[in-house]
Amino acid sequence: MVAVRGVCLLILAFLLVALQVNSQYTDLKRAFDAGFVRAVVSGDYSRLSAVDTNNIYVQDCIPTVSYYSFPPSPTGLLAKTLSSKVIQLGTVQGSTPPLIDTTTSPPTGWSIDFANVIIKSIGDNYNVNLATNWTIFDTSDEAFAALAAGKIYIILPNFSVGAFFNGTRRLETFIPTCAISASVTSIYVRPSANWTLNSLKSATGLKIITSGAGSVAEAASFFNSPSEIFDVSILSSVVDETKYIYDKVRSGEYDVSWDNDPFGTSTADGLTFISSGIINPGVGFFSREVSNTPHPTPCPSNDQSRGQNVININFANILAR
């Protein structure tokens, strides 16, 4: 038993340091993940996301309710949210329906409906009727700057895990939610070219058009020696990037549209869709606040180690022994 407790102490000490350095387990994140998992288990996720034929469910948070509990004594932004009865949320304009539509106030779409289910679950657990206050930002950088400044508490719903903010990976500065949505990176080509995925990947000298530095990098690693990868986002004069991209492919000026799906009034009529096979999970992000609530870890105490099941025990009780 001494050896077992010694191992537990080492684990718990490591976790305490990790929490202080990384702050991965803030109470707001815990509560959101608990609500998320309960919404998945109840079937709400499947029901709400069914309207989005492009959505793929990524199970990175195991749908087992017993693994995800609501913090019993809320601290930090969760405590502030429960006290004010308002949760401060942010997103970026231009997201794709039916996932999200930012032209309405507040934003709409199945991901917003899903977020509301999660927030209601949090409120119900603490007997608080939570309201939402959405702030719509022009760019993701503006949204993440507001998150870092504490002006909003969560960014939703579908931001890239691997992207950067101020030259640093988002995961190093912020804390992700469970994966909320995912889609396959799309390829659109002219049907007359008779492309297949394999022939596209082996072709050389392709002219590719896309939007965003991340998509440019992804395309560069996917295709074999393209002659050009043009980033439309550098053109401030272009209002409807998707329409602009599709028109360039239709006209023959570019061979491939990479990572651009129909949005708003922009349609892919006259073009052929090819799946790249690349899955892009989307998450929300929390600020990396410091949490006073330790993450529960299963370790046996004296009484629990004698042939009984291992259960969670209190940090303070272990460290005091």
User: Does residue 142 register a pLDDT over 50?
Assistant: yes
Q: What is the DSSP string of 159-200?
A: EETT-EETTEEHHHHEEE-S--EEEEEEEEE-GGG---HHHH
- Looking at the domain covering 26-182+281-287, what would its CATH class be? alpha beta
User: Does residue 20 register a pLDDT over 70?
Assistant: no
What are the extents of the domains in the chain? 26-182+281-287, 191-270
What's the pLDDT band for 115 if we cut at 50, 70, 90? very high
Q: What are 37-46's pLDDT values in tens digits?
A: 999 999 999 9
Decide: pTM greater than 0.75: no
Q: At 256, list the tokens.
A: 């491939």
Q: What is the DSSP string of 255-266?
A: SEEES----TT-
What's the pLDDT band for 292 if we cut at 50, 70, 90? low
Q: What are 196-224's pLDDT values in tens digits?
A: 999 999 999 999 999 887 889 999 999 99
What's the pLDDT band for 263 if we cut at 50, 70, 90? low
Give dist(CA 75, CA 26) in Å, integer: 8
